[in-house]
Amino acid sequence: MKFMDKSNISESNQGDLAIEQALGWAAGTLGCLREAFAAGRRRDEPWEIARVPEERQPAMAQAAAVFRRGVGVAGVESAAYRPAEILSTRSVAEALALVPGSYGLSESQGGAIPGRFLFVVDEAITRLWPEFRESHLGFPAWILRGGEAVKNLETASRLTAWIRSHSGSADRGLQVVAIGGGVTLDVAGFAAGLCGLEHVNIPTTLLAMVDAAIGGKTGVNFPPFGKNQVGLFHFPARVIICPDFLRTLPVEEIRAGAAECLKHALLAGDLDFFEKWVRLARDGNAAFAEDGGPVVVVTRMKEAFVERDPFELSGARELLNLGHTTAHALESVAQSRGLVIRHGAAVAMGLACKVRLMAAAQPGCLGLARKIMDALRSSRCVDEVIAWLSGPDIAMDAVWAAMVDQMRQDKKLRSGDRTGIRVVGLRWNPATGILEAHATEVELEALRRAFVSCLQELR
Ligand SMILES: NC(=O)c1ccc[n+]([C@@H]2O[C@H](COP(=O)([O-])OP(=O)(O)OC[C@H]3O[C@@H](n4cnc5c(N)ncnc54)[C@H](O)[C@@H]3O)[C@@H](O)[C@H]2O)c1
C-alpha cells in the first residue's frame, strides 16, 4: 500500500487522511468515493479495479467495499446474511439479560465462550435510563451524542478506533451492543462490521425498533452526496425489542415511527392492523406500556421482506419503499429551505399520495381510500408536513418543481420522455377487496394532482 506525499495534500485531504488512517483504509479511499458519487455510479455497476494504476487499487477496492454498502461490485465479497434473532421483553431491565445469546450458553450447550461486550449507547438513554450508564453495564461503553449531525465517517472512525483499542486477538466472543435510535444503531453496526465483530441491536425509538434495527443496512451520511451513502451490509446477530423504552420518547418521534408501521399495514393489506396503528400513534407513549405486541409484529414483518431479498437485489425489498419517493423529495426540499421535517411525517404524506393515486385509477375503491385518508389524518403522523406546507409563504408550484428536480437527481425518472417515475404503488383487488403493493410507473402530472389533493384533504 502506498501513502500520498503529505506535503502535496490540501487541508481537506489532511482531514481525509486522518479518517482513513483511523479506519485502516488506504490513503485516497475518500477521494475514490467522491469520484464515484460525482460520476453518478450506481450500486450495481461493476468497478474495474484491475484497470486502474496499481498504486490506486487498494483505495479503489476499499471504496468499492463501502460505496452504497458495496453490493454488486466485482471482486468485493458480500457479507453473509442470516436472519436476525428477534427477541422481545416487556421491561427495560430484562433487555440486558437477553444480550449474551449463544455466548451465554454452557459448554455442554455448545456455547463455551463467555460473553464480552462493548456497548455503544445513545446519550439520551444514559440520561433517561440509569441502568444503561457505563457504571451499571459492567463493560466499556461509548456514549454517542449529537444525533444525525454526527452520523458521519469521522464519528465512525473514532468509534472504530475505540473498538479496536478494546479488542484483542483472543476476543473471539466480543460483540458490539448498540442501544439507541437509528443513528446509534447505524453507526455502531458499521463500526462493528469494519472490525469484523458481531453486533446486537437494542433499539430505543419506535423507528429503530421497526426499521433501523432490522435488515443489516449500516453506515453513515457522506455530505454532500446524501444520507447513508457509505456503509456495509452487516446483519445483527440479535435484535432485542423492548417497547418499554417508548415511555420516554417524545410523541413526535412516536408518530415518526408509526408512519413506517402504517406503511407495513398497507403493504400487508391489513386494514384492521392499520387502524390499530392509527390508534397507537394518536394515543402516544402510554399506549405501548399496555400493548407492545404490535411493535414486534412490525419488526418481524420487516425481517420477512429482508429475508426474501437481503441485499436489495431481487426487487422484493423495494416494496419497503412505499411512500418513500415523495418522502425523500419532500425532505430534501424542506432541508434546502433550512427546515428539517421528520422522515416519518414525510413517509405518511407519501402513503397518502399512493392512496389518492390508487383511488384516481380505480374509482371502485373511493370509499376505502376516503376511510384510509381519514385514519391517516387522525393518526397525526402527517401533521408536521401539513403545517409546513400550509404556511403563508409557501408557493406550492415552486415546492412541487423543486420536488421534481429532486426526483430527477435520484435518477428515478423514466428515460425518454422523463414525464413518468418509477414508484411503489397500491392497487385494490376488487375480487378480494384487498390492497396490494407493486412496483410501477406513474405520470408526474398524476403524482402532482394526488399530492395537491392530499394536502387539501389532510389539512
Ligand atoms: N439502517 C436502516 O435500515 C435504517 C432505517 C430507517 C432509518 N434509519 C436511520 O435512522 C435514523 C433515524 O432514527 P431515529 O428516528 O431513531 O433517530 P435518532 O437515533 O436520532 O433518535 C431520535 C431522538 O430520540 C432520542 N432517543 C432515543 N431513544 C429515546 C428514548 N427511549 N427516549 C427518549 N429519547 C430517545 C435520541 O437521542 C434522538 O434525540 C436516521 O439516521 C435514518 O437514516 C436507518
Q: How far is the CA of 360 from the centre of ligand 1 (A)?
A: 35
Task: Give pLDDT, residue 411.
Answer: 58
Q: Which atom of ligand 1 is nearest to the CA of 248?
A: 32
Q: Which atom of ligand 1 is nearest to the CA of 189?
A: 1
Q: Which atom of ligand 1 is nearest to the CA of 215?
A: 3
pLDDT tops 70 at residue 337? yes
Count the neighbouring beta carbons within 10 Å of the beta carbon of residue 392.
4
Residue that is written with C-alpha cell 453473509 in the block: 80
Helix (H, G, I), strand (E, B) or coil at 346: helix
pLDDT tier at 114, thresholds 50, 70, 90: low
Best of 186, 235, 260, 299 for a ligand 1 pocket test (most atoms within 8 Å of beta carbon):
186
pLDDT tops 50 at residue 104? no
What mean pLDDT comes out for the span 197-203?
95
Atom 1 in ligand 1: which residue has the minimum CA distance?
212
Check residues 224 and 204 and name the one with the higher pLDDT: 204
CATH domain 316-458 topology? Dehydroquinate synthase-like, alpha domain (1.20.1090)
Pairing of strands 85-88, 238-241: parallel
Atom 27 in ligand 1: which residue has the minimum CA distance?
181
What mean pLDDT comes out for the span 166-186?
86
Q: Which of 195, 197, 198, 218 is nearest to 208 (CA)?
A: 218
Task: Give pLDDT, residue 273.
Answer: 96
Q: Which atom of ligand 1 is nearest to the CA of 227?
A: 43
CB 378 within 8 A of CB 278: yes
- DSSP E strand boundaries for 181-289: 198-203, 217-220, 230-233, 238-241
β-sheet bridge partners, residue 201: 178, 239
What mean pLDDT comes out for the span 176-197?
96
pLDDT tops 90 at residue 246? yes
User: All 3 cell numbers of residue 82?
Assistant: 442470516
pTM score > 0.75 for this model? yes
Q: How far is the CA of 215 from the centre of ligand 1 (A)?
A: 15
Residue that is written with C-alpha cell 413518468 in the block: 420
Task: Give pLDDT, residue 111.
Answer: 46
Q: How far is the CA of 185 from the centre of ligand 1 (A)?
A: 8
Numbered ranges of CATH 3.40.50.1970 in the chain: 85-249
**Please, which residues have CB within 8 angstroms of residue 6's CB and are 6 or more apart in sequence?**
14, 17
Atom 44 in ligand 1: which residue has the minimum CA distance?
212
Q: What's the rounded Cα separation, in Å, for the pair 295 and 88?
A: 10
pLDDT tops 60 at residue 225? yes
Q: How far is the CA of 217 from the centre of ligand 1 (A)?
A: 14
Q: How far is the CA of 205 from the centre of ligand 1 (A)?
A: 6
Atom 37 in ligand 1: which residue has the minimum CA distance?
124
Q: What's the rounded Cα separation, in Å, for the pair 125 and 215?
A: 23
pLDDT tops 60 at residue 41? yes
Pick the range with the lowest mean pLDDT from 107-111, 183-187, 330-334, 417-421: 107-111
For residue 293, the one-letter residue type is G
Q: How far is the CA of 259 from the centre of ligand 1 (A)?
A: 14
What mean pLDDT comes out for the span 263-283?
95
What mean pLDDT comes out for the span 48-56?
91
Q: How far is the CA of 200 from the centre of ligand 1 (A)?
A: 16
User: All 3 cell numbers of residue 40?
Assistant: 453518478
Numbered ranges of CATH 1.20.1090 in the chain: 316-458
Atom 41 in ligand 1: which residue has the minimum CA distance?
183
Task: Give pLDDT, residue 42.
Answer: 84
By CB atoms closer than 10 A (0-12, 13-18, 19+), residue 361 is middle
What mean pLDDT comes out for the span 415-443?
86
Q: How far is the CA of 349 from the centre of ligand 1 (A)?
A: 20
Q: Which atom of ligand 1 is nearest to the CA of 218?
A: 1
- DSSP E strand boundaries for 238-308: 238-241
pLDDT tops 70 at residue 390? yes
Percent with pLDDT over 70 in the chain:
89
User: All 3 cell numbers of residue 151?
Assistant: 452520523
Long-range contacts of range 271-274, CB-CB < 8 Å, 24 or more positions apart? 271/371, 271/372, 271/435, 273/297, 274/372, 274/375
CATH class of 85-249: alpha beta
Q: How far is the CA of 186 from the centre of ligand 1 (A)?
A: 9
| Greatest Cα pair distance in the chain | 72
Task: Give pLDDT, residue 4.
Answer: 37
Task: Give pLDDT, residue 101.
Answer: 61
Q: What's the rounded Cα separation, in Å, for the pair 386 and 365?
A: 25
CB 120 within 8 A of CB 187: yes
pLDDT tops 50 at residue 313? yes
Q: How far is the CA of 208 from the centre of ligand 1 (A)?
A: 6
pLDDT tops 90 at residue 368? yes
Count the neighbouring beta carbons within 10 Å of the beta carbon of residue 154.
13
What mean pLDDT comes out for the span 238-243?
95
**Please, which residues have CB within 8 angstroms of residue 25's CB and are 6 or more apart in sequence?**
19, 59, 62
Which residues have any ligand 1 atom within 6 Å of their CB?
Answer: 122, 124-125, 128, 147-148, 151, 180-184, 186, 204-205, 207-208, 211-212, 215, 217, 227-228, 245, 248-249, 253, 256
Percent with pLDDT over 90 in the chain:
70
Q: At what angle do helices 366-379 and 251-267 cross, to 10 degrees?
A: 160
